[in-house]
Amino acid sequence: MAAARVELPAQRGSRPGGPDRVRPLPVDVFASRHRGYWLELGIVTVLDGLVMVTVVLATRSPFAVLTVAATALAWKFKGLYDPRIGLSVLDDLPALVAGTIMGLVPAMIAAVGWTSVHAGTILLTGVGLAGGATAGRCLAYAEIRRQRAKGRITHRTLMIGAGVTALALIERIRAHPESGLNVVGMISDRPPRVPMPVPVLGMPRQLTEVVRHAHVSDVIVGYGGTPAADLIEVIRACDSVNVGIYVVPRLFELSTHTGDDHIWGLPLVRMRGPAHRRLTWRLKRAFDVVMASLALLVATPIFLCVALAVRWELGPGVFFRQLRVGAGGRTFTLLKFRSLAPVPPGDAAPWTVSHDGLGQVGRFIRRYSLDELPQLLNVLRGDMSLVGPRPERPEYVEQFSSELPWYRHRHRVPSGLTGLAAVNGLRGDTSIEDRARFDNWYIDNWSLWLDTKILVRTVWSVLAGTGA
């Protein structure tokens, strides 16, 4: 049976006065939203590839092959193949050198056991990769800037806001076509006070629809009177359309951001892409399956003992099943060990369980979070992840989403057996607003290392008996 889906409340509407529908723009049928970035990536990748092949042929050593593979991965993780507006080899140089060193070390370790590596080979490989890639990127960036200036490589861009900052940005972009940006329109919740060189295509709440209709690849937040809360909503809504998002920092004249983009001296902070679009996100599911399987294997004796204890105290029916809401509003059946008697038919289940109704077994397994062990099966089935926002019941999801606009953003990723809010003590009868803020921070800043830290803190809280 297909999983049901909870319809979450829509985004809050913007103030009246703006356009009431999306105005699609004529676009070449062969155009792709990300065609420009694919062309740029192709130019850079081809020249880097030529350098790597040359190094391997020059050394004729398996060591060079290992180094090239490791260096390519290091450059990828250092962001050297990410989309960028400003292109500078000098800005890339530290990452190119550091990535090459990171590639040399594992190759040297791997080579120790089966062959000797001459010092000259190591030197030639390292200098050849770093020096060759630097020279190659000088050529690549020069060619990309030339193609941008001629209009052959462009990135269809949407401006949020119709104020003075947005107008200044558009004028600067048009004066410097080497940025590659082509502002095709803007969205605003109020009519522009001054004439704008591009049309207003919609309102902030229509951002995702405008992005699709206008084939937009980049969004620049130029403010213009839109409240910050509404901006956060529309930016998070872009998770589903895969666009690059740039924000003009407040007090940008005093900006001290490093490593971000710019347009002719005006800083732009590039927002991190959504977690599910990152390369490391693909490892999360494999991590979940491996760790959940190991945990079940190690905890099998505890699992059986808890099941017997629950059966002894509460009678038949060891497991408690309840409908919960996961990623994208889809519902699933969550498993737990029973800790108290079933609610009589016709009575509404309480939001949290009072300890007054718990027996000795129920109180013990809740204190040490042993009642959550069956959720490892939910993880293996793909209903949940090991780490993520804790799932809630459909009726409470609807209630909390209507009261807190950002609550529904928790459902951008799979729910978890544990989470950042949980390890910070936000379980049971605690602030829903604080939980939602912790969960959304986790999603916006996700990494495998963050998951690892949360799991370590979870194990500690379980052993300390502070999990309930």
Q: Does the residue 87 lie in any domain?
A: yes
Q: What is the mean pLDDT of residues 270-290?
A: 84
CA atoms within 13 A on the CB side of 357: 11
- How far apart, in whole angstroms, are the C-alpha atoms of residue 408 and residue 400? 8
Structure tokens at 286: 């494999």
Same domain, 321 and 255: no
More confident residue, 22 or 404: 404
Q: How far apart are CA 389 and CA 419, in angstroms?
A: 5
Q: Domain boundary residue among 87, 117, 149?
A: 149
What pLDDT, on the 0 to 100 scale, is given for residue 262?
A: 78
For residues 69 and 85, the answer to whether their CB atoms sit within 8 Å is no
Q: What is the pLDDT of residue 453?
A: 94
Mean local confidence (pLDDT), 300-304: 91
For residue 329, the model assigns a pLDDT of 87
Alpha carbons within 13 A on the beta-carbon side of 196: 26
Q: What are phi and psi of 262, to 5 degrees?
A: -160, 160
Residue 111, pLDDT score: 67
252: number of CA atoms within 13 Å, CB side? Answer: 19
Cα distance between residue 226 and residue 161, in whole Å: 7
The verdict on 260 and 297 lying in the same domain is no
306 and 444 within one domain: yes
Residues 414-440 have a mean pLDDT of 88
Averaged over 312-318, what is the pLDDT? 82
Last residue of a domain, one of 121, 149, 177: 149
Q: Percentage of residues in the chain with pLDDT exceeding 90? A: 34
Q: Which of 67, 123, 65 is nearest to 100 (CA)?
A: 67
Is residue 233 pLDDT above 90, yes or no? no
Q: How far apart are CA 293 and CA 435, in angstroms?
A: 28
| Average confidence score pLDDT of the chain | 82
In a domain, 30, yes or no: no
**pLDDT score at 376:** 93
Same domain, 340 and 382: yes
- CATH number for the domain spanning 266: value is 3.40.50.720
| 290/430 same-domain check | yes
Query: d(Cα 143, Cα 42) in Å, to the nearest integer?
Result: 12
Asked if the model's pLDDT at residue 130 lies above 90, the reply is yes
Whether residues 370 and 388 fall in one domain: yes
Instruction: Say whether pLDDT at 226 is over 80.
Output: no
SS3 of the chain: the string is CCCCECCCCCCCCCCCCCCCCCCCCCCCCCCCCCHHHHHHHHHHHHHHHHHHHHHHHHHCCHHHHHHHHHHHHHHHHCCCCCCCCCCCHHHHHHHHHHHHHHHHHHHHHHHHCCCCCCHHHHHHHHHHHHHHHHHHHHHHHHHHHHHHHCCCCCEEEEEECCCHHHHHHHHHHHHCHHHCEEEEEEECCCCCCCCCCCCEEECHHHHHHHHHHCCCCEEEECCCCCCHHHHHHHHHHHHHCCCEEEECCCCHHHCCCCCCEEECCEEEEECCCCHHHCCCHHHHHHHHHHHHHHHHHHCHHHHHHHHHHHHHHHCCCCEEEEEEECHHHEEEEEEEECCCCCCCCCCCCCCCCCHHHCCHHHHHHHHCCHHHCCHHHHHHHCCCEEECCCCECHHHHHHHHHHCCCHHHHHHCCCEEECHHHHCCCCCCCCHHHHHHHHHHHHHCCCHHHHHHHHHHHHHHHHHCCCC
Query: Which of 261, 266, 238 shows the shortest CA–CA distance to 84?
Result: 261
Same domain for 202 and 289, yes or no, is no
pLDDT of 377 strictly over 70: yes
Mean pLDDT of 238-244: 78
Residue 191 resides in a domain: yes
pLDDT of 4 > 70? The answer is: no
Same domain, yes or no, for 134 and 178?
no
Q: Give me the pLDDT at residue 278, please.
A: 78
Does residue 363 sit in the same domain as residue 452?
Answer: yes
pLDDT, residue 306, reads 87
The CA angle 165-238-201, to the nearest 5 degrees, is 55
| Residues 23, 209: Cα–Cα separation, whole Å | 10
Q: Has residue 15 got a pLDDT over 50?
A: no
Q: What number of CA atoms fall less than 13 Å from residue 322's CA on the CB side?
A: 21
Task: Identify the residue with better confidence: 132 or 246.
Answer: 132
Q: How confident is the model at residue 18 (pLDDT cuts 50, 70, 90)?
A: very low
373: in domain:
yes
Whether residue 95 is predicted with pLDDT greater than 50 in this model: the reply is yes
* pLDDT score for 331: 92
HSE-CB for 12 with a 13 A CA cutoff: 17
Q: How many separate domains does the chain show?
A: 3
pLDDT at 231: 73
How do strand 181-187 and strand 200-202 relate by DSSP bridges?
A: parallel
User: How many angstroms separate the CA atoms of 59 and 104, rounded?
Assistant: 14
**Average pLDDT value for residue range 92-114:** 84
Q: Is the pLDDT of residue 349 over 60?
A: no
Given a cut of 70, is residue 155 above it in pLDDT?
A: yes
- Mean pLDDT across the stretch 379-403? 92
The mean per-residue pLDDT over the stretch 420-441 comes to: 87
For the segment 168-210, what is each residue's pLDDT rounded down to a tens digit? 888 889 999 998 999 999 888 777 777 788 888 888 778 888 8
Domain extent for 363? 281-464
Q: Does residue 8 fall inside a structural domain? A: no
- The confidence score (pLDDT) of residue 113 equals 59
Q: What pLDDT is attached to residue 345?
A: 53
Per-residue model confidence (pLDDT) at position 30:
38
Cα(56)–Cα(367) distance, rounded to whole angstroms?
59
Among 18-32, 312-326, 441-455, top mean pLDDT goes to 441-455
Residue 143 · residue 43 · CB < 8 Å: yes
**Looking at residue 16, what is its pLDDT?**
39
> Which of 122, 149, 176 finishes a domain?
149
Please tell me the least confidently modeled range out of 4-8, 41-45, 201-205.
Answer: 4-8
Kindly tell me the burial class for residue 410, based on how many C-beta atoms sit within 10 Å of its own C-beta (0-12, 13-18, 19 or more): buried
Cα–Cα dist 331/340, whole Å: 24
Where is average pLDDT lowest: 142-156, 274-288, 345-359? 345-359
